Amino acid sequence: MNIDMKTKETFVKNLLNWYSKNKRDFSWRNKTNPFHILVAEIMLQKTDAKKVSEVYDKFIERHPTPQDLASAELSELKKELAILGIHKRAERMKKLAEKIILEYGGEVPSEKEELLKLPGVGEYISNAVLCFAFGENVPIVDTNVIRLIERVFGVKSSKSRPRTDRKIWEFAAELVPKGKCREYNQALLDFAASVCTSKNPLSGICPEKMICCFAKEKSA
Ligand code: SF4
């Protein structure tokens, strides 16, 4: 994916500028405790952030450590997470906490290969933990982020499941501004969810419209 550096830098600058005025404030965004970040990311899987915000603070208050979560009754966890749907999530959370205690001395590991061994943790969640908890300059790529990248830069994944496309991940990694990974990745998520939406993107008011391939094609 051969995109010039200036376009990439402009994209990042516009995005961070937009984010400084439009940031969505969720409590997990102010945390760097790896376990609390991990819990948030598991909750956020296929779930609207506003819904997660209804249960997250209370859940963390009740189960602030892997030990607290592992010793909780599964039936209680299911009740606490019921609003999020996907009942298996309570079970997965408990197993996750047990594994962290048994194999990592109660601390969430900070190495990618170890994070990937945790139940329910894949490429996205492992990078989210590395970025939001440990401050590593790594990308996070979900369906919304892929849509945004494809539109702005005119790239297209050839994979039937673009989320697994190494080329997209590598390109996304090139965009991450060093030392600003937290705000950049949060900005990407918010921007893709509220401006560059799947249907009817708000191109008319979009700060990226001057460099966006999709917008240029539409107005040609
Ligand atoms: S100009 Fe439109 S398509 Fe391009 S990034 Fe902005 S909202 Fe998305």
**How far, in Å, CA of 78 to CA of 100, rounded?**
20
Ligand 1 centroid distance, CA of 10 (Å): 14
Q: Which of 179, 169, 100, 162 is nearest to 140 (CA)?
A: 169
Q: How many CB atoms lie within 10 A of CB 155?
A: 16
Q: Which of 50, 75, 181 is nearest to 128 (CA)?
A: 181
Delimiting residues of CATH 1.10.340.30 domain(s) in the chain: 33-132
- Nearest-atom number in ligand 1 for the CA of 215 is 1
pLDDT digits 0-9 by tens, 15-49: 999 999 999 999 999 999 999 999 999 999 989 89
Residue nearest atom 8 of ligand 1, based on CA coordinates:
196
Q: In this structure, which CATH number among 3.40.630.30, 1.10.3720.10, 1.10.340.30, 1.10.630.10 belongs to the domain 33-132?
A: 1.10.340.30
**How far, in Å, CA of 88 to CA of 157, rounded?**
31
Delimiting residues of CATH 1.10.1670.10 domain(s) in the chain: 5-25+137-219
> Where does ligand 1 bind, in terms of residues with CB under 6 Å?
148, 151-152, 195-196, 201-203, 206, 208-209, 212, 214-215
Question: What's the CATH code, domain 5-25+137-219?
Answer: 1.10.1670.10
Give phi and psi for 142, each to the nearest 5: -125, -175
pLDDT digits 0-9 by tens, 76-105: 999 999 999 877 889 999 999 999 999 999
Ligand 1 centroid distance, CA of 201 (Å): 6
Ligand 1 centroid distance, CA of 49 (Å): 22
E strand or H helix at 103: helix 88-104
Q: What is the ipTM of this complex?
A: 0.99
